[in-house]
Amino acid sequence: MELGEANDWTGRVLDDRYQILSYSTRGRGWDEYHARDLDTNDQVLIKILSASISEDVEFLRRLTSDIAIANCIVHPHVQRVFDWGRSGEVVYLVTETFRSVSLQLLLDRGHPLTAAQATKLGFEIASGLDAVHQSDLCHGDISPSNLLIGADGSSKLAGFFLADAFSAAEAGRLSVVGTGLMEPSVKFGAPETLSGGSGPESDVYSLVASLVASISDESGESETTWRNLSNGERDQDLKIPTEFEQARDILSEGGRFEPKVRCDAISLTEGLIEATKGFMKPANIAIPSFLLVGFDDDPGGSNADRSNEFLRPKWRPVRKLAAIVALVLALLSAGTAWAVSSVQPQGLPAHLVQQYTGRTVGEVRAIADSRSWVLDEDQVRTDDVPTGIVLAQRPAPGRRLAEGEMLVVEVASGPRLRMTPLVLGLPTAAAVARLETKGFEVDLVQPLYDENIVAGEVIKVLIDGEPALGGGLREPGTRAVLVVSGGPVPRTVPLLVGLDFSNAEQVLNALQLRVARPVGLELSETVGEGTVLSQGLTPGLLVDRESEVSLTISSGPDLREVPDMRGLTVFDAERRLAEVGLQVGEIRGDGLKVQGTEPAAGTFLRPGTAILLWAPLQD
């Protein structure tokens, strides 16, 4: 189901737990509903994502990771994330709800903030944003639409856990076929987001831009308050209005054009708190009660609501009269229906309805047959009682029911179905634990080599031989097969002996193997210099990608260099030659000092070679 079919969800119960009560609003890629958690009786918000985005694998992989982190963030100024699930073709998210209005709606209705109120809102949201950043998440789409202001003056940052998942989807296959999503507003985006870059510093910029916009009487997409961005160019720092007074300095740091020189969220928080010393304590932001969305926990109305009574719409007399007439007609219709339903068929005997809950449905069928009642059996799944036991009945015990009338019973039809958890991308142990917690049995872990996915990470879940993405309802005890990454395909060590060292290194690099350092050297009388003499791993051995192979290469034959011995005595020259492994051959001349050698100095010779010394007499 695509977005826009709001009425098709109202009244439904998702996964036997979340009862959708009413439509709330539309966001970027989702419709939002007010709902009730039937397990806890808590009031929640349900975001139902569009079918096109719900089917994207990259989106679900990133969403699962981000929601797991977001679920751990508990901060008074960050909207809580409780749960997620799948219903049919769409994914839904469960978040916190409270009576509030978005800052954007306030501005659109002509209710700007004072500089003091904006400063207070700023340090509250900045402190929540710091908690998000500390958890290694980024918001990615901060704007007045995502800043919620409660009826009690509280504030919360909403929607932060979806930005990275949407980015993953847009960067994946849906960038080709289209996501069907509304584009995020660039009005409050940092300059670097126009070229696809974003990070914690981009969130700080967007928050400062939203605060600047909050004190303006302008709304919508006009940008003349601080600059005109209609051409998509941002080449200067944000201009901070003078109304912010002491807060201007820290806001200017958050609104720098260059991301590297912006302050972070915690610095923005501390700076705005310090700036509040220059303001009188602001009054709570006045919110017209008819703009508030969410459940009303105070039916009588709070003092804050009564103080803004003049902002509420006034009923005209003709509307009051119409409302009274409608109420009277409704009461008459209800009375007539009750009177009709209370009339029993004439002339048929009636029997006393007893307590049937806790009995088997077979017993109740026999009783209904003996008294000529029509038995209507509603099948209900539950983990609390065995199959075939009656859970509830209508009418209640003590009533009399005429023959031919209907006895309705709710019968346990088996344990509750289990929602298949999304485990793609998880380590094997974590995936097995999550499946077993949900009542599934892991039948087999099947490895599959993959060059890109880390070894041990789940690639696919098979149930009855078919891939199961997650979100489907299945019987408890269903067996699942996990296909996990075995890491890269093992490499076969090649034969490198006899290759030139550079060629051997190229062969290893082509197989994504590496030469171990340092490379060994060994003299060889028969193998030329630079040729591989031996290798550390046996050819044909299977090893992991990026393994290292130690090599020993030839440094050539053992040669000794003839030293320069000019000026040395014949005795000293003989000793010098012995030091380098050479020896004296013929000595020509009767002089005492060597004047030259054959071969000449610098010549390389094999060890033991005889050297001729020239030692002529000197005048």
Q: What integer is the mean pLDDT of 447-469?
A: 90
Residue of 468, 456, 395, 398 whose CA lies nearest to 427: 456
pLDDT band at 119 (very low <50, low <70, confident <90, very high): very high
Residue of 239, 243, 288, 266 whose CA lies nearest to 116: 243
What pLDDT score does 552 carry?
95
The answer to whether 122 and 265 have CB atoms below 8 angstroms apart is no
The answer to whether 133 and 92 have CB atoms below 8 angstroms apart is no
Q: What integer is the mean pLDDT of 582-589?
A: 92
pLDDT reading at 262 higher than 60: yes
What pLDDT score does 53 carry?
74
CA–chain centroid gap for 319, Å, is 50
What pLDDT score does 303 carry?
35
Calpha distance 580→558 (Å, rounded): 12
What pLDDT score does 248 carry?
94
**More reliable by pLDDT, 554 or 221:** 554
Calpha distance 112→115 (Å, rounded): 9
What pLDDT score does 228 carry?
42
**What dihedral do alpha carbons 51, 57, 60, 64 form, nearest 10°?**
160
DSSP state, residue 453: S
pLDDT reading at 45 higher than 50: yes
Using CA atoms, how far residue 261 sits from 257, 272, 306, in Å, is 8, 18, 46
What pLDDT score does 319 carry?
37
pLDDT in tens, 461-514: 999 989 988 778 889 999 999 999 999 999 999 999 999 999 999 999 999 999
> Which amino acid is located at 610 in the chain?
A
pLDDT in tens, 145-180: 889 999 888 899 987 666 666 665 555 444 333 444
DSSP state, residue 499: S
DSSP state, residue 14: E
pLDDT reading at 3 higher than 60: no
Lowest mean pLDDT among 76-80, 152-156, 200-204: 152-156
CB atoms within 10 A of CB 105: 21
pLDDT reading at 384 higher than 90: no
Which of 126-135, 219-228, 310-319 tops mean pLDDT?
A: 126-135
pLDDT reading at 267 higher than 90: yes
Residue 442, C-beta contacts closer than 8 angstroms, at least 6 positions apart = 432, 435, 436, 479, 480, 481, 482
The answer to whether 494 and 459 have CB atoms below 8 angstroms apart is no
What pLDDT score does 136 carry?
85
pLDDT band at 26 (very low <50, low <70, confident <90, very high): confident
Calpha distance 396→378 (Å, rounded): 16
SS3 assignment, position 148: strand
Lowest mean pLDDT among 232-236, 403-407, 577-581, 602-606: 232-236
pLDDT in tens, 340-379: 344 444 457 889 999 999 999 999 999 999 999 999 999 9
pLDDT band at 443 (very low <50, low <70, confident <90, very high): confident
Calpha distance 610→64 (Å, rounded): 81
Task: Evaluate if pTM is beyond 0.85.
Answer: no
Calpha distance 28→406 (Å, rounded): 48
Portion of the chain with pLDDT greater than 90, in percent: 49
Using H for helix, E for strand and C for coil, what is the string for 402-442?
ECCCEEEEEEECCCCCEECCCCCCCEHHHHHHHHHHCCCEE
pLDDT band at 227 (very low <50, low <70, confident <90, very high): very low
Burial 600-611 (b: 16+ CB within 10 A, else e): eeeeebeeebeb
What is the Cα Rg of the chain in Å? 41
What pLDDT score does 446 carry?
87
pLDDT band at 7 (very low <50, low <70, confident <90, very high): low
Q: What residue ranges define each of the domains in the chain, with the CATH number in brackets?
A: 6-291 (1.10.510.10), 350-412 (3.30.10.20), 418-485 (3.30.10.20), 491-554 (3.30.10.20), 560-614 (3.30.10.20)
Q: What integer is the mean pLDDT of 420-432?
A: 92
Residue 133, C-beta contacts closer than 8 angstroms, at least 6 positions apart = 200, 203, 264, 265
Residue 288, C-beta contacts closer than 8 angstroms, at least 6 positions apart = 109, 111, 308, 311, 312
The conformational region for residue 245 under phi > 0 = left, psi -120 to 50 = alpha, else beta, is: left
Calpha distance 429→57 (Å, rounded): 21
Lowest mean pLDDT among 34-38, 249-253, 344-348: 344-348
The answer to whether 375 and 407 have CB atoms below 8 angstroms apart is yes
What pLDDT score does 619 carry?
65
pLDDT band at 317 (very low <50, low <70, confident <90, very high): very low
Lowest mean pLDDT among 84-98, 424-438, 531-545: 84-98
pLDDT in tens, 294-311: 655 443 333 333 333 322
How many residues does the structure list for the chain? Answer: 619
Q: What integer is the mean pLDDT of 393-401?
A: 90
**More reliable by pLDDT, 331 or 140:** 140
Average pLDDT, the chain: 82
pLDDT band at 95 (very low <50, low <70, confident <90, very high): very high
What pLDDT score does 1 carry?
39
What pLDDT score does 27 carry?
72
Per 3-state DSSP, what percentage of the chain is helix, strand, and coil (rounded to 5)?
30, 25, 45
